[in-house]
Structure 1
Amino acid sequence: MAGVALGNPANITIDAHGYLHLRIVRQNEKWTASELFTTENLGFGTYQWIIQGNVYAMDPTTVLGLFSYGPAHHIGTDAEDEIDIEFSQWNKTCHGCNADFTVYPATGNRKPKGVSAWEDNFRVSGGTLTTARMEWFADHIVFTLMNGAQPIGTVADVIKTEKYTSDATNIPQSAAPVGINLWCFKQTPAEDQSVVIRKFEFRAH
């Protein structure tokens, strides 16, 4: 997985409410992180996560990724077939940002040095319950962050929304697994980190 800490399945648990817990943990002087993927490939549609916790003010080294990632199932190579919603200060390297929306190109269209086709890094503030949504179409992607737990298909209490429009070279076209990870960018955090995903939903278009 990405970052300076290896993934450990023990850092991923499901509680009595059915909520998914991801952790970055230090044990015996060794840091480990969290990552999981769907076994199924999902295509064009609406992807939505309900996140519990203040993801806007995590340790600066911590990254929460909510994403579609083809290379996990050998669809495209790294820096292709990826759509991200991420919460991170990127170890204070992004000029004050604490979140981003990012799109990598479709299979066979990798950019020089593996850069993204499009990205928006920004700073926002929200509460301790956030709805993160991406709506993926063949020619555009709509990203939305909202306060609270909002039903899929509705829009309310919007924190941030962006629409990226392009062609089939810059927007992934192949169904891909969905990933969630909590990882360490360049350095490990000052203390253990945790995030709770209350719910993930997918609705095909």
Structure 2
Amino acid sequence: MKALWVLLALVSLLSCTLYAQDVPLVKTGPRELEFGNLHWRMKSSLTPTAPGPNYFRGTEDAVWVDDWGLHLTIQEQQGTWWATEIFTRERVGYGTYTFTVETDIQQYDPNVVAGFFTWDTAPQEYNREIDIEFAAWGQPSGTLFQYVVQPYADPSRIFVFKPALNGNVTTHRIVWTADGVTFSSYHGSVDPDQMESSTMLIKQWHHRPSPTEGKVRFRINFWLYQGTIPVRPADMVITSFSFVPHRP
């Protein structure tokens, strides 16, 4: 009888081992992508969530990285329109943020908003939010660019302009230090550190005072103003992104 129990135990152990080999390991936690030497996490919500309010999803057909770059989308699935938002796992702060974007803003629905910004979950200093945004805010006059050091309701903290683009590719830079914040936008894919990039400059704006660093992460979102249903889907590709910390 003892031998029989030993045999049954061995058979059970072997079965469990074989089954374990067939079951893939399940990764817990938010989905992540690597891009620009940073790790980006996906925002997901099954109920309307700010900004917007919008529904957000981070599935592989909504946000992905390929040889072209990092893709964000606004899409309809089974009657619901889904926005996308990503944020860095790493905390960032004072430094230089440079990114190149390929998107046809002239074809945006008036309610499509693209945002690139710092954000701190702590509520101090207007959450240390520094933005570059492409948006028309529901107006039919077309998508504008804007630079903001929140709160935007203070006219001295926001700069809005018509970009008069040459093509669908633009490069943007935020230089954030304790002394202030400098925003720049350029036609095409350029290296702002190179002297010749000055011929491609669209706009530049400097703002003081500067928020303290706090514990910010960088976020990129692609969403619908007031959650308004658009006439067509939208997509945006970030072809490069870099963050260089400031060393005083």
TM range (shorter): 0.7 to 0.9
State the match for 1:108 in structure 2.
none
2:205 corresponding residue in structure 1? 162
* Residue equivalent to 1:195: 236
Determine the C-alpha separation between the residues in 1 that align with 2:237 and 2:174: 19
- Structure 1: any 5+ residue segments left out of the alignment? 106-113
Match of 2:101 in 1: 51
Higher-helix-fraction structure:
2
Sequence identity, in percent? 28
Aligned AA (1:176): V
Largest Rg, 1 or 2:
2
C-alpha RMSD of the superposition: 2.2
Count of residues in Structure 1 that have an aligned counterpart in Structure 2: 189
Instruction: Give me the TM-score of the superposition, normalised by structure 1.
Output: 0.84
Scaled by the length of structure 2, the TM-score of the pair is: 0.70
**CA 1:92–1:172 in structure 2 vs 1: closer, same or farther (change >3 Å)?**
farther
Give the structure 2 partner of residue 124 of structure 1.
Answer: 163
Q: Give the superposition deviation at 1:56.
A: 4.8
CA distance in 2, matches of 1:8, 1:77: 28
CA contact (8 A) 1:42 1:178 kept: yes
**1:111 corresponds to which residue?**
none
Partner of 2:138, secondary structure, is helix
- Determine which structure has greater relative contact order: mean sequence separation of CA pairs < 8 Å that are 6+ residues apart, divided by chain length: 1
Q: Kindly state the Cα deviation for residue 78 of structure 1 after the two structures are TM-superposed.
A: 8.9
Deviation at 1:150, TM superposition (A): 1.3
1:13 counterpart residue number: 64
In 2, the alpha carbon distance for the partners of 1:159 and 1:67 equals 19
Q: Contact conserved, 2:108 with 2:143, CA < 8 A, in 1? A: no
CA distance in 2, matches of 1:98, 1:141: 20
Q: Give the aligned residue type for 1:190.
A: V
Alpha-carbon distance change, 160 to 61 in structure 1, aligned in 2, over 3 angstroms? same
Q: Residue by residue, what CA displacement relative to the aligned partner does 1:33-52 show, whole Å, maximum 9, x if unpaired? A: 00000011111111011101
The 4+ residue runs of structure 1 with deviation greater than 3 A are 114-117
